[in-house]
Structure 1
């Protein structure tokens, strides 16, 4: 038996043993239970949670400890800057606001999380732009920066929180301006996975068991939603096998190198299945934009005579991960020009009661396709291999199309 085959067998046996243990002790372990299955985790919901933890006057009653740890772990630019020392010495005076309207600069946007601290003649302002799912809006970060200046903050700080984007969209802030902010230490980029270290430290410092358990559930949610980690026990068990010796490490690298090829071959099979199962309707199936694993690859239903957009299944992340499904317009401008964008979201929200319908600049209405995790779970790939994924995608896209059509959302204007 080859080392690769032996490694795969060992991993399979370990996973089977863990699944057996979880089945036997499920009542004690409750492995599938998560508080965050019952909490609103859209952009506003996550902003509310983070703002509550950061607030020195928050109901967690841990005073300024969480905020102080946040600056230390997540904002080293501020923590090491002498200009912010007065803020750090008076951090308990910080006020935290949710959805703060940018009235001073007259841009009338809403800052997701706004932190303000005044000490004598000094005024410190931090805007946290929370981007868990949606895309950036034109001039969004520039407007937030201008608002901080208009509010009289001599030391403004823009924090861009996004797991999947290394930098904001150039439409939100151009590269030259962003570089200027970075050079002046007025910009920080954070990923949700970067919050894990901060949250774990908060657990250690926290003196209330209920708050500590909430933080533990938040960590678990971030690991699953943004990092693709379903079960840390399983993850650690596999890592232990892989690191056992030089042979298993070498075998794991060889297995890893073939995973992307396997995914591309299964996506090729999915395309064949889609073509075979697609039935002529009031739209045309377009699969020419999927196959390489680049971010935003998609499957389209092209609507003859309707050039504003299409029904779309799209991977929100690279390597075929985090798919969303809904109606996507050709551009932000096209979406703004359409008088039915709000109606589209309302209609799908009303009719698709089992979905959480969202909207963004180019997507008047969309939801996160289930299964969502194509990176850390085998569920989606097994469905493709079994031939059932094509039915699911075609079926859901057809429902979205017919629901919008029946409610007059494709009427010319």
Structure 2
């Protein structure tokens, strides 16, 4: 136990020293400043940023180097396959399109990012389906695969970019169809965290300081938004202490083994607090789906007489991480058939100006609950321990309920 206590003391002292240094030199370091706090980083915004970097004709003026590095780092099987050699040798000829309509399959969808390279009589195609936040749509990846095949490329590839899912859901493409694409080297699942290696390679290759700094800011954004890393200096300092010797490694494992237990105990406290503080009579609080740390665990506000949906607080990741809040329906079909789906999103957009309201196959309207990072940051757990998290969750859920009810949108 003394080794554990020593480790915790050393980490605490190191973090305290870092905080002191950052405070003293904050004007020079500006540790909390990031360009991406002032840039639209919704799905379309991120697609624009990635498309711009991948475009050999883009304003970064680095020609095809960024795209070539993307294929090398994120699509290694494509990079090594002979039938793609014509594309790699002529990568500067690639055209990049946003929201490309799937006209060849008659599905009339829009590919988030589409790359097309024409080399003589042969063409190459890459589609990137960007899923930073929203869930999959019905048969979406299946339709994109059909579209790429119908375009008669010599070689084509479909990329599923999502931090939180290793592969698209069966709702988007059947497992057998996905396995066929994978076996034919026509599909890759890429995480946002996988982009870090590519972006760092781009920094090395880049010959312009402004572009290099923009890439550095993008790396910081990805680390914070998708990896839960607020401060790399802090992260590295802790890692150095943990790896110092056998005793610190052993102590860190013992600490790690108790973290999941601590979270589950605090989650049990949150459930008790929620039930004690929920005094409303317009709805019923359902906490039966919360407690084990599985993906998509949630808290529901069940609305009497409204059985197609509920107000929902849901963790998108396992181990209680990345919560979202909004109105969720029981099925994608219910979302499609409800006459109030679009209005729900519009009402929340107007009323909740501080939120980035989105929609998906099951969610007419939702947003990412703050604090968002429950994995790498202690703020949410401290709020549970202090008893304030239940108030925050209930207040925000009640606000969603009231907005929808007052606008007569909770009607079947």
**TM beyond 0.5:** yes
Does residue 1:303 correspond to 2:298, yes or no? no
- SS for the counterpart of 1:227 is coil
The equivalent of 1:134 in structure 2 is: 134
1:58-207 matches, within 5 Å, as 58-207=58-207
- In the TM superposition, structure 1's runs of 4+ consecutive aligned residues that sit over 6 Å from their partners are none
The equivalent of 1:212 in structure 2 is: 212
- SS for the counterpart of 2:160 is strand
The equivalent of 1:256 in structure 2 is: 256
- SS for the counterpart of 2:36 is helix
The equivalent of 1:351 in structure 2 is: 351
- SS for the counterpart of 2:97 is strand
Inter-partner Cα distance in structure 1 for 2:336 and 2:25: 53
Inter-partner Cα distance in structure 2 for 1:171 and 1:384: 35
Shift of 1:25: 1.1
The equivalent of 1:20 in structure 2 is: 20
- SS for the counterpart of 1:180 is helix
- SS for the counterpart of 1:301 is strand
1:288-327 matches, within 5 Å, as 288-327=288-327
Runs of at least 5 residues in structure 2 that lack an aligned partner in the other structure: none
Q: How many residues align?
A: 412
- SS for the counterpart of 2:164 is coil
Shift of 1:161: 0.7
The equivalent of 1:49 in structure 2 is: 49
- SS for the counterpart of 2:376 is coil
The equivalent of 2:363 in structure 1 is: 363
Shift of 1:166: 1.1
The superposition leaves residues 274-303 of structure 1 with CA deviations (integer Å, 9 ceiling, x where unpaired) of 011110321100100000000000001000
Runs of at least 5 residues in structure 1 that lack an aligned partner in the other structure: none
Shift of 1:152: 1.9
The superposition leaves residues 366-407 of structure 1 with CA deviations (integer Å, 9 ceiling, x where unpaired) of 010010000000000000000000000000000000011000
Root mean square deviation, CA, Å:
0.8
Shift of 1:411: 2.0
When the two structures are superposed, what TM-score results if normalisation uses the length of structure 2?
Answer: 0.99
Does residue 1:239 correspond to 2:239, yes or no? yes
Shift of 1:123: 1.3
When the two structures are superposed, what TM-score results if normalisation uses the length of structure 1?
Answer: 0.99
Shift of 1:62: 0.6
- SS for the counterpart of 2:226 is helix
The equivalent of 1:230 in structure 2 is: 230
The equivalent of 1:35 in structure 2 is: 35
Inter-partner Cα distance in structure 2 for 1:326 and 1:280: 18
